[in-house]
Chains A and B, each alone.
Chain A
Amino acid sequence: MALAAEPMSADVVIRMEGVQKWYDQFQVLKDIDLEVRKGERIVICGPSGSGKSTLIRCINQLERHQKGRIVVNGVELGPKHRQLDTVRREVGMVFQSFNLFPHLTVLENCMLAPLKVRGVSKAEAKATAMTYLERVRIPEQADKYPGQLSGGQQQRVAIARSLCMNPLVMLFDEPTSALDPEMVKEVLDTMIGLAEDGMTMLCVTHEMGFAKSVAHRVIFMDRGEIVEQNTPDEFFTDPKSERTRSFLGQILSH
């Protein structure tokens, strides 16, 4: 609880205090304390079922927590989550399975939320969409449907779609896990580009190379708890907990 005692700093974007969540009897998140500052890049790793996806899904309340506080950009999402709309507008999310809207073109996918949520003009939404499609290097696919694109291209569109809302934070939920190996790099490169531009990022990923080169902080979760958080250097060379060591042993040995 050391973090919770600190004064609220102005550049804290996400603060989680004592967050707990259960699926019936099973506790998926146990007393999570986490603070994310503006511009910070955090990689969350851990074995499957450790609660890492649930943790980031609580930040935009795709999953509800039952206890504790989550404050995003000064807006509190209590268990009653009344300020949900405000928070979702500021938090972008990229999913493992892309979740592009198959009945809309790439361009329409990118324009939908700015038009209907932010209420910008069609011309502005289109200009923004094209800017970000260029940034993820697929402006030429704008008029195609998601089904016509490769997995890597779809995931880059999904990143562009989130960026069109001009979010304060980006959440990545295993963005490369559903991709064929040859497409992982193009998505990671896009994410690295975002990092270089100073985007605040929380990534659940098993890409340890990405964690080493991009993350400011690596968080290891196991059985619903944050077991260890550290700089990538120390995390990979000198892990403190036994559980971290055995996890790293398993994923880095092959």
Chain B
Amino acid sequence: MIRAFGYNEFLFLLSAVQWTLALSVIAFLGGATVGLFVALGRTCDVKPLRWLATGYIQIFQGTPLLMQLFLVFFGATVLGIDMSPWVAAALGLTLNTSAFLGEIWRGCIQSVPKGQWEAASALGLRYPGLMRYVVLPQAVKVAVPPTVGYLVQVIKGTSLAAIIGFVELTRAGQIVNNATFQPFLVFGVVAAMYFVLCWPLSLLSARLEARYAAPTR
């Protein structure tokens, strides 16, 4: 039986936004945590660590996110692990986000002038203290605008989790469309909901960039 797209369908889509947001938050937090280590690995003196981090970034930047989700989801099955779409999507997005944030943050860390590293080293600070008290606080300033900007990519990226069966906004759109056969209307509403989530973040990113572009020295 074909239903018309009405208030209930709209509410169903709206409630799916929470799963898109939940997945985004997990991917972002997980990606940020792993990404910090990727960025540190990319900028450290130890060659094998640097190669490892570089390879990690290359692999995740050089393959489609959808393939990564497939590989995690079906790879788990091959390994005999019963992984829910939820966990697979969270894991895949975390890995992907960490590679991109790692590369963004590498640039931010390297933007801190060499003299800062030298002064901190000359004062006797070792790597952990040097990073924590001198380099990272300065790198964070540079990192905030592109990181907020990248959050938009993370949110949009969660839509691919629909394909492995995780019910978030896009998957909810497919479900509603299967019942209503009004694809243009349904996916128009879905797209508008993504836009409402992402647009403020884009604005925020631009504003932060303007603010931090003011010279501090």
Q: Enumerate chain A interface residues (CB-CB to B < 8 A).
A: 60, 62, 85, 88-89, 91-93, 95, 97, 99-103, 112-113, 116-117, 145-147, 158, 161-162, 165
Q: Which residue of A lies closest to B126 (CB)?
A: A85
Q: Are A102 and B119 neighbours in the complex by a CB distance under 8 Å? A: no
Taken residue by residue from 96 to 132, chain B's Cβ proximity to chain A (1 for < 8 Å, 0 otherwise) reads as: 0000000000000000010110111111111001000
B137 at the interface (CB under 8 A from A): yes
Contact of B121 among A62, A112, A165 (CB under 8 A): A62
B211 at the interface (CB under 8 A from A): no
Contact of B122 among A60, A97, A100 (CB under 8 A): A60
CB-contacts of B184-217 with A (<8 A): 216-217
Q: Are A102 and B123 neighbours in the complex by a CB distance under 8 Å? A: no
Contact of B115 among A91, A99, A113 (CB under 8 A): A99
Q: Are B138 and A102 neighbours in the complex by a CB distance under 8 Å? A: yes
B133 at the interface (CB under 8 A from A): yes
Contact of B125 among A60, A117, A145 (CB under 8 A): A117
Q: A85-B124, A103-B138 given as contacts; is B217 within 8 A of A116 (CB)?
A: no
8 additional A-B pairs beyond A91-B122, A95-B119, beta carbons within 8 Å, are A60-B121, A62-B122, A88-B123, A95-B115, A95-B118, A101-B120, A101-B138, A147-B216
Q: What would be 9 A-B contacts, judged by CB atoms less than 8 Å apart? A: A88-B124, A89-B124, A93-B119, A112-B123, A112-B133, A113-B125, A145-B216, A147-B217, A165-B123
Cα separation A62 to B129 with both chains bound (whole Å): 17
Which residues of A are found within 8 Å of B124, using beta-carbon distances?
85, 88-89, 113, 117, 165
Q: A85-B126, A116-B133 given as contacts; is B121 within 8 A of A99 (CB)?
A: no
Q: A101-B134, A147-B216 given as contacts; is B122 within 8 A of A117 (CB)?
A: no
Q: Which residue of A lies closest to B134 (CB)?
A: A101
Which residues of A are found within 8 Å of B216, using beta-carbon distances?
102-103, 145, 147
Cα separation A88 to B129 with both chains bound (whole Å): 14
Q: Are B123 and A103 neighbours in the complex by a CB distance under 8 Å? A: no
Q: Are A162 and B126 neighbours in the complex by a CB distance under 8 Å? A: no
Q: Which residue of B lies closest to A62 (CB)?
A: B118
Cα separation A145 to B124 with both chains bound (whole Å): 22
Q: Which residue of A lies closest to B132 (CB)?
A: A116
Q: Are B121 and A161 neighbours in the complex by a CB distance under 8 Å? A: no
Which residues of A are found within 8 Å of B126, using beta-carbon distances?
85
Contact of A102 among B122, B133, B217 (CB under 8 A): B217
CB distance from A147 to the nearest CB of B (A): 5
Cα separation A88 to B116 with both chains bound (whole Å): 15
Which residues of A are found within 8 Å of B133, using beta-carbon distances?
112, 116
Q: Which residue of A lies closest to B118 (CB)?
A: A62
CB distance from A167 to the nearest CB of B (A): 10
Which residues of B are found within 8 Å of A100, using beta-carbon distances?
119
Cα separation A72 to B163 with both chains bound (whole Å): 64
